[in-house]
Each structure stands twice: as structure tokens, then as C-alpha cells.
């Protein structure tokens, strides 16, 4: 079967200090968007995992979350099967958009369907939490407030649809590094907070990440000054910076390339709004 693995943005990301397990206590609003990897997956007799990816820079072994998801599914269900997975990678790596986490969740959901195990969302989310903090969100993949280290997922009501411009810098940002830099107190700038409807948009990781990658702050601030942009901020731990558009914002991509160069690619998409 083929299954989409959507990306996400974080219009809200607040950090509340370190937990005893070493993770940060977070409160974040995560919203799926219309950008997705495409996962082609099949199962058959035998055992083992064969993983391929359209991006040759990404590992296709046990260090890949999609591989680990298939491995965990076999262990938790006790089933023996051979899995072949190919990832058509459309979500940039190290971009703060949850691509690897979404791939892993898609593998869990696909195997549940292909093997007829009917584990249900709660069991799949337990398995997802064992793999990584963001992965439970992608099991349901609807706008949600995530707490704890990200594994406590509560669907969010009445999140309006947002038209976005995603800007991809030509480099990734390590999530582990970003959280470590924040914990170490990196960054001198104040966290930008802006009201948008009933929400306060904020990313507490921005000052730490901007302390090393000053171009990301320059990019965010430039977007904030552009006509048609209601707000701009970094998604997750970066490196993607996204603008919320209030109108067509014609010519924004051309102005972006003129200011930052063609290496900073851009894509328009929209969020997936809540059902209620």
C-alpha cells in the first residue's frame, strides 16, 4: 500500500524546564500541513526489513525511524513478516517539520492495516511514544496540543485554516542540539510573542537557535516586514521558517530569492483545520 506521511508546523512551542528523564517538559500546538512524504510499503513471508529512500543522504538502516517502527511492530505483535519500505522524501531533513516522526507513524499505521492486527489508535500511540516524542501526534494527525515530552496528545478544537509559505534554508538544525542550547541558556534575544486570533504564537527555541544561525532570525524578521504576511516564526527546532499569509502575498517568493538567494527554497501550502 501507499500512505502519506504529512509534515507539521508548531504555531506554539513553550518549554517548561527539564524532566527527571532528561527530556524537556513542553506544551506545543502541532498542526499537520499539506506537505507529505509518500511511503510505499509491502509485507510478505519471511523476516527482515528492506528500506529505501529517494534522499541518498538519509540512512536506510536501524538508525532510521521508519526501520525502527517496523522492527518495533514485529516485536510488539509477535508476528514474523518481511517488510519492504520505500520513502519518497518531500519533507526536508532537519527542518523542524517532523518528517522522520511522521514516516515512523505512517509505517505503524500501514502495518496495522496490512497485517489486519486492528490495534487501534491508543495501542499505536503507545508504540509510537516508545519510538520518539513527536510520533504519537502523527498517529491521529489532526491539530493537537501536545504536552509532557510530546507524547500526551489532546486534539485541539477550532484551529483556523492557515495559508503558509514554508521557507527551507540550505542546512538542517539538530533537534538535540537546539534543546541542549536552550537548556544551556544560549541566546540573548527575547522570545517573540504575537497574538493571532485567540492564540499567542510563540516558539521558545528561537533565541537559542538564532544564537548560532543568525540568518534564521534575519529571515523571520524580513518575512514579518513583507506585505501579505500576518506572522512569521520558526517551526519546531528549525531550520524551516514559515509565514502565515493574510492574502495572496504576490511576488513573495521572488522577493525572498532576491534577498536570500536561490538556495533558500519556498513552498506554499495550508494547514489541516480541526474538524470542530
Domain of residue 202, CATH code: 3.30.70.890
pLDDT at 16: 85
Same domain, 20 and 135: yes
Contacts of 160 (CB under 8 A, 6+ apart): 197, 273
pLDDT at 276: 39
Same domain, 143 and 19: yes
Total domains in the chain come to 2
Range of the domain at 191: 163-270
Same domain, 42 and 148: yes
- Residue positions annotated with a catalytic role: 8, 134
Q: What is the pLDDT of residues 150-176, one digit of tens each?
A: 889 999 877 888 999 999 999 999 999
Same domain, 122 and 204: no
* Residue with the three cell numbers 534522499: 55
Q: Is 219 among the domain residues?
A: yes
Contacts of 242 (CB under 8 A, 6+ apart): 9, 164, 165, 166, 167, 232, 233, 234, 235
Q: Is 190 among the domain residues?
A: yes
Same domain, 193 and 232: yes
Which of 76, 150, 158, 153 has the alpha carbon at shortest distance from 117?
A: 76
Predicted TM-score (pTM) of the model is 0.93
Same domain, 142 and 198: no
Burial 27-43 (b: 16+ CB within 10 A, else e): bbbbbbbebbbbbebeb
pLDDT at 150: 81
Same domain, 14 and 141: yes
Which of 110, 45, 39, 113 has the alpha carbon at shortest distance from 82?
A: 45
Same domain, 41 and 123: yes
Domain boundary among 155, 178, 212: 155
- Contact status, residue 265 vs residue 168, Cβ threshold 8 Å: yes
Same domain, 236 and 200: yes
Q: Is 104 among the domain residues?
A: yes
Q: Is 131 exposed, middle or buried (0-12, 13-18, 19+ CB in 10 A)?
A: buried
Grid coordinates given for 96:
523542524
Q: Is 115 among the domain residues?
A: yes
Domain boundary among 121, 155, 189: 155
* ∠ Cα 105 56 215 (to 5°): 85
- Distance from CA of residue 264 to its chain's centroid? 19
What residues in the chain have per-residue pLDDT under 70? Answer: 19-22, 273-276
Domain boundary among 101, 124, 155: 155
Same domain, 217 and 139: no
Q: In what order do the strands lie in the sheet with 241-245?
A: 229-234, 241-245, 163-168, 265-270
Q: Is 276 among the domain residues?
A: no
Same domain, 97 and 177: no
Same domain, 108 and 229: no
pLDDT at 275: 46
What's 61's domain CATH number? 3.30.230.10
Q: What is the pLDDT of residues 36-54, one digit of tens each?
A: 999 999 999 999 999 999 9
- Contact status, residue 42 vs residue 50, Cβ threshold 8 Å: no
Q: How many CB atoms lie within 10 A of CB 15?
A: 18
Q: Is 275 among the domain residues?
A: no
Q: Is 248 among the domain residues?
A: yes
Amino acid at each position: 500500500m501507499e500512505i502519506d506521511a504529512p509534515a507539521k508546523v508548531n504555531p506554539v512551542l513553550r518549554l517548561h524546564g527539564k524532566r527527571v528523564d532528561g527530556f524537556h517538559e513542553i506544551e506545543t500546538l502541532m498542526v499537520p500541513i499539506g506537505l507529505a512524504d509518500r511511503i510505499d510499503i509491502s509485507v510478505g513471508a519471511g523476516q527482515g526489513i528492506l528500506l529505501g529512500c529517494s534522499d541518498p543522504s538519509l540512512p536506510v538502516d536501524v538508525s532510521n525511524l521508519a526501520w525502527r517502527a517496523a522492527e518495533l511492530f514485529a516485536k510488539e505483535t509477535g508476528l514474523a513478516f518481511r517488510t519492504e519500505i520505500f520513502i519518497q522524501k518531500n519533507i526536508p531533513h532537519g527542518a523542524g517539520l517532523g518528517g522522520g516522526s511522521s514516516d515512523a507513524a505512517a509505517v505503524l499505521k500501514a502495518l496495522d492495516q496490512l497485517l489486519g492486527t486492528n490495534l487501534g489508535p491508543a495501542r499505536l500511540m503507545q508504540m509510537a511514544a516508545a519510538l520518539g516524542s513527536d510520533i504519537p501526534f502523527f498517529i491521529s494527525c489532526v491539530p493537537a496540543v501536545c504536552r509532557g515530552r510530546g507524547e500526551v496528545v489532546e486534539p485541539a478544537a477550532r484551529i483556523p485554516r492557515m495559508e503558509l509559505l514554508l521557507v527551507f534554508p540550505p542546512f538542517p538544525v539538530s533537534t538535540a542540539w537546539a534543546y541542549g542550547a536552550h537548556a544551556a541558556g544560549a541566546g540573548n534575544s527575547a522570545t517573540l510573542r504575537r497574538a493571532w486570533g485567540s492564540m499567542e504564537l510563540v516558539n521558545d527555541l528561537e533565541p537559542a537557535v538564532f544564537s548560532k544561525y543568525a540568518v534564521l532570525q534575519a529571515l523571520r524578521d524580513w518575512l514579518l516586514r513583507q506585505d501579505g504576511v500576518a506572522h512569521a516564526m520558526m517551526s519546531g527546532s528549525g531550520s524551516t521558517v514559515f509565514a502565515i499569509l493574510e492574502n495572496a502575498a504576490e511576488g513573495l517568493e521572488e522577493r525572498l530569492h532576491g534577498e536570500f538567494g536561490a538556495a533558500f527554497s519556498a513552498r506554499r501550502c495550508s494547514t489541516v483545520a480541526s474538524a470542530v
